[in-house]
Structure 1
Amino acid sequence: MSSWRLLLTRPEEDCAALSRSLAAAGVVSSCLPLLTIEPVTLNDVQRRQIAALGQYQAIIVVSKPAARLLLDQQRRAGLQAPADGWFTVGETTAAVLQAAGLKVTFPTQGDDSEALLALPGLREAVAVPTARVLIVRGVGGRELLAERLAEQGASVEYLELYRRCLPAYPVGTLMGRIQAERLNGVVVSSGQGLEHLQQMAASDWPQVARLPLFVPSPRVAELARAAGAQQVVDCRGASAAALLAAVQRSAAPAY
């Protein structure tokens, strides 16, 4: 049995799945979702984008919620998704699309926009004259992908399918959970998750920041350190396997 007792903060469905994977490896965890996914009401432009997926040289899906919602909208509209031209930032998002029979390219080293931009397959896709790229994501987020692809001559559009919100919890819930369950580490899956962790902690943030913080990428690690996190562990991926590997190579502190 591992000495780690981790607080998981992903959306509820993902949090539960991650907790089961950790439990199978002997790692205790506690779920406190700090992100909820709220689908947006589609406008006419978004509906036309979904109907015209086959006209894009690259369709980049940045998260599992984006993948699930896009596939759901396709089914509702009775549309057939193109088999090729799909790209994701990480393996877990790719798995959602692959389960629908789509061919997906994703970086095997790294789980962020920088790793995706380095893929030869994406570079080839946007090298076509007048290449069109569709980035499927939540409302807001990083602009790096669009900026870099535009620099390569691609025409880039966004299809934003959901909003990420912080659930409403009573004041003190976060620190109360950590203390009651003697948790000795925290896991966040994105920069937005880190932001919500700080908001939730409020005046307790200095105490929370002393706990080891597991993050999915160098970018989020940099954000965490800038926010005052004292021990940041970069998992180099957002998958359960990446987190488990990071946990196994890290010594758990005494509570």
Structure 2
Amino acid sequence: MASVRVLVTRPAHDAAEWVRRLSEHGIAAEALPLIDIAPEPPSPALRAARQHLADYDAAMFVSGNAVTHFKLGSDQLFFETKSAVAQLDQARAAIKTRAWSPGPGTTAALLRAGWPAARVDAPAPDAGQFDSEALWARVAPQVHAGVRVLLVRGGDAEGRAAGRDWLRERLAEAAAQVDTVVVYRRRAPVLDGAQAQRARAAAADGTIWLFSSAEAIANLRQCLADVDWRAARALATHPRIGAAARAAGFGVVLDTRPSLDDVRASIESLA
């Protein structure tokens, strides 16, 4: 496997973790972040969402970054106060807010942040996909008229809510009350000379591009608009991402589930 190189295109923090995990399994991986993540500046809406989290029946976090940036600026765990430990435990027991997670990465971030595992809803570990559709299959029975749901998500470079509205549409159809809060911004990266050179080489040298977002593919095309991708190879962690890679001109695109074991097996199949 050492002869095969993999470019991990997730945001920098996530990419570093994936590089570490792949390297532990003998895969020569390196990071080339194609999405830049920045915290949303403080705002009354963000402060209100943090302060009134327990007023919601459920909070849907679109990603691990959503969890991290929702808590940014506070060292406290979810729902913590300055109360004594006994009072804190009692308060936690009284809070009924459920966390909705689209996949294992978000679930892990919630647990690290102190959200009780018994109040996290997510697709089964062996689900065919980790996305809004798989999550909805799990949480739809919780939703009825008047249920309050907070969508915690990312925004574009100007802070406008970005991403799919599929889950919001299902909630609206069920007459749920839905609020949205943007907690981070997703921006196109500025590739330095070495990064641009590496990306150009990876278009034709057999490197495997690991894509977990169609936005990363769009940013790559924006950064290197003159590159021909017909000789490039890619792994995509969702069929929609695979479709974006094919539309961008990648010659070989393999769809894979986003778990480490599935990604490893897919890399091995392309080696």
TM range (shorter): 0.7 to 0.9
Q: Residue 206 of structure 2 contacts residue 233 of structure 2 at CA under 8 Å; is this kept in 1? A: no
TM-score by length of 1: 0.86
Cα distance, 1:173 vs structure 2:
3.9
Cα distance, 1:200 vs structure 2:
2.2
Where in structure 2 are there 5+ consecutive unaligned residues?
A: 81-91, 156-161
Opposite residue 56 of structure 1, the aligned amino acid is: Y
Match of 2:134 among 101, 115, 126: 115
Please give the per-residue CA displacement for 1:66-106, whole angstroms capped at 9, x wherever unaligned.
11111335546995385750011110111011123323221
Please give the per-residue CA displacement for 1:178-234, whole angstroms capped at 9, x wherever unaligned.
538955210111121121122122101x23x43221111112122222332232221
Where in structure 1 are there 5+ consecutive unaligned residues?
A: none
Cα distance, 1:175 vs structure 2:
4.7
Equivalent residues in 2 for 1:215-234, closer than 5 Å: 215-234=236-255
Query: Higher mean Cα deviation, 44-53 or 59-68?
Result: 44-53
Q: Distance in 1 between matches of 2:195 and 2:45?
A: 41
Matched residue SS, 1:54: helix
Please give the per-residue CA displacement for 1:20-46, whole angstroms capped at 9, x wherever unaligned.
111111111121111111111132122
TM-score by length of 2: 0.81
Q: 2:109 is matched with which residue?
A: 96
Q: Distance in 1 between matches of 2:194 and 2:73?
A: 38
Matched residue SS, 1:6: strand
Cα RMSD (Å): 2.5
Match of 2:154 among 111, 123, 138: 138
- Identity, in percent, stands at 32
Q: Distance in 2 between matches of 1:242 and 1:138?
A: 26
Q: Distance in 2 between matches of 1:98 and 1:14?
A: 17
Opposite residue 135 of structure 2, the aligned amino acid is: L
Cα distance, 1:136 vs structure 2:
0.6
Opposite residue 197 of structure 1, the aligned amino acid is: L
Q: 1:199 is matched with which residue?
A: 222
